[in-house]
Homo-oligomer: A and B are copies of this chain.
Amino acid sequence: MKYSKLFGKTIKETPKDATLVSHQLLYRAGFIRESVAGRYYFLPLGLRVHEKIQQIIRQEMNKAGAQEMTTPVLHPKHLWEETNRTNSVGFELMSIKDRQEMEFVLGGTAEEMLVDLVRKFQISYKDLPFNLYQFSTKFRDEARARGGLLRLREFVMKDAYSFHTSEEDFKKEYESMKATYTRIFQHLGLKTDIVESDNGYIGGEYCHEFVVESEIGESRYLTDNEGYSAHEDVAVFEFENKNLDEEEKQMVEVDAVRGPTMEDGVKLHNLPLWQQMKDLMMVDENGNFILAVIRGDLEVNEVKLAHVAKAYRLRHATVEEIRELGSEPGFISPVGLSDRVKVVGDLSLRTIKNAYTGANKKHKDLLNVNIDKDYKVDIEADIALAKAGYISKNHKPLIAKKGIEVGNIFQLGFHYSSKMTGANFRDNDGLEKPYYMGCYGIGLARTLATIVEKFSDEKGIIWPKAVAPFKVHLIGLDLEGESVKGKAERICNLLQAEDIEVLFDDRIDTSAGAKFADSDLIGIPCRVVVSKKTEGDKLEIKKRSEKETQFISLKELIDMLK
């Protein structure tokens, strides 16, 4: 490819809103352009990298026995209604009617489409397991798109869906996909942490994110460096018992002229924070009230809370709502509360005795409050937010990290096959049974941006070999002279004849300095210079990742690149 002919040349300016290195460099080097926020053009250079990432994913998925296919982009909406996802996904879902007034969803993930396909077949236990995957454009109507390719509203995703006779069989595939993903990201030059995470609107019981550690990442997770890594939305930890040896005393209501905060309670009663009960009044998407109660030194994890309360969206109750329930902001308590409120108690409430909390009346507190005796919870579950320094299941302190989620794998179990009729296979006992499922996604554009976030310097991108748009950046200098020009073109042709991809900077009106700067910005792994100084068969070579130039023959270059 001649650079003079390439569409999408380097520029000096950075878009005003580009704060991320990957956004700046991919834009300046001519890999991408924005159409509107969250929707991007891939220019020829960018698409070459995108396709290499795609090919690496494809090879590894095929090796793992998965089979590539495609679904339509428009999903009949009635399928999403079968699984109630039109409600659970909410605003991120875009829908559209055709001229026959049939409604479609712009696919964000394709579980329903795959189940609808598979149930068109008479599947028996002999056909299972299988894992079907596709590369296709996905749509997410994100409230806020992030600059560049990190959070898009439209992107190509590799999504895979596996079908099994049993959980046991599924678990083998889940582990195989874990290994496959690790290998894919290794090929791409990325080290990933495998992080337990929240399954969002996908459904199922557990899932893992593949996260590349990065300061600019939006995935916050905790790890003990002993095999436990979990997104802060789901991370668990150990908490010690506090005063369980105390005798349970008689609950008593006392005057409490204090402010509404936890600290106000600590000061007034001169008791430890952990002995106080923290009470959070929330409202779900249907207007139901949920009171979350937790030990005072801990915080409520609203994602965990939503899960155990089976809510899609939670918000804090207003002052008026709290008063209408017969309580008082700053003095809420589960004791004697309206039965319109569902009480969710954290497991940590079992580590304290004789707690203190509000009395659902202004300036009144309760002392010596004990679970079961003085109040009951409707749901008792882990709703605590883990933090750095807390102790992991492995008895090690948790460390907080940030990273970019580049892939994820989900146990789906019977979530879809139980909701969609006919999502069955015939087992070897002749009975029809729902299949057990998993799904597995990788966002290609975000992966591409992550590679740039990890591999760049002040001059530009430094592409890992496996995904570089070209293998060699051949820079011709002094090309006004026919003999140098001829030599450069010959080298270009010889390299291409060896199936080595070459970007040939054949511009005549551009300075050597500008060409070198462009080459550093674009980031092709190997730079070769041909100029009137080029003597004999020795070519000037410089690797993008190194400082030194070296002089080697074309044959040595070809050997090096192969």
Q: Interface of A with B (CB < 8 Å)?
A: 4-9, 33, 35-36, 39-44, 46-48, 50, 65, 67-76, 91, 94-96, 98-99, 102, 106, 113, 116-117, 120-121, 126-127, 130, 132, 136-137, 139, 141, 143, 153-154
Given contacts A113-B35, A130-B5, A132-B7, contact A96 B99 (CB under 8 A): no
Question: Which single member of B9, B44, B74, B116 contacts A69 (CB below 8 Å)?
Answer: B44
B99 with A91: CB separation less than 8 A: yes
- Residue in B106, B117, B127, B130 whose beta carbon sits within 8 Å of that of A96 in the complex: B106
Max chain B C-beta neighbours (<10 A), residue from A41, A46, A47: A41
Contact A72 B41 (CB under 8 A): yes
Q: Which residue of B lies closest to A129 (CB)?
A: B5
Q: Is the CB of A33 within 8 A of B117?
A: yes
Given contacts A91-B99, A94-B96, A137-B137, contact A69 B7 (CB under 8 A): yes
Is B67 within 8 A of A41, CB to CB? Answer: no
The listed residue with most B CB atoms (<10 A of its CB), out of A6, A7, A8, is: A7
**Separation in Å of the A472 CB from the closest CB of chain B?**
17
Contact indicator A76/B126 (Cβ below 8 Å) = no
Name 5 extra pairs, CB < 8 A, besides A7-B127, A44-B67: A33-B120, A36-B76, A41-B117, A42-B69, A98-B153
Specify the chain B residue showing the minimal Cβ separation from A39: B72
B33 engages A99 (CB within 8 Å): no
Bound-complex Cα distance A74 to B154 (A):
8
Indicate which residue in B39, B98, B99, B120 contacts A74 across the interface (CB closer than 8 Å). Answer: B39
* Cβ of A470 to closest chain B Cβ, rounded Å: 13
A-B contacts, 7 of them at CB < 8 A, read A4-B126, A7-B132, A35-B116, A44-B67, A47-B69, A50-B70, A73-B73
Kindly list chain B residues whose C-beta atoms are within 8 Å of the C-beta of A46: 69
- Establish whether residues B40 and A72, one from each chain, have CB atoms under 8 Å apart when the complex forms: yes
If A7-B130, A94-B98 touch, does A73 touch B35 (CB 8 Å cutoff)? Answer: no
Q: If A94-B96, A141-B98 touch, does A71 touch B36 (CB 8 Å cutoff)?
A: no
Q: Among the listed B6, B67, B95, which residue makes an inter-chain contact with A67, where contact means beta carbons less than 8 Å apart?
A: B6
How near does chain B come to A90, taking the closest CB pair, in angstroms? 10
Closest Cβ–Cβ distance, residue A240 to chain B (whole Å): 46
Q: How far is the CB of A176 from chain B (nearest CB, A)?
A: 14
| A67 engages B7 (CB within 8 Å) | yes
Closest chain B CB from A49 CB (angstroms): 12
Q: A217 vs B106: C-alpha distance in the bound complex, in angstroms?
A: 31
Residues B102 and A36 in contact, CB atoms below 8 Å apart: yes
Given the complex, which residues of B lie within 8 Å of A36, measured CB to CB?
76, 102
Residues from chain B with a CB closer than 8 A to the CB of A65 are 5
A143 to B8, CA, bound (A): 39
Set of chain B residues within 8 Å of A143, measured between Cβ atoms: 99
Q: Is the CB of A70 within 8 A of B99?
A: no
A222 to B247 alpha-carbon distance, docked (Å) = 101
Known: A35-B113, A36-B102, A126-B4. A44 touches B68 (CB 8 A): yes
Complex alpha-carbon distance, A113 and B141, angstroms: 20
Question: Which chain B residues lie closer than 8 Å to A76 at the CB level?
Answer: 35-36
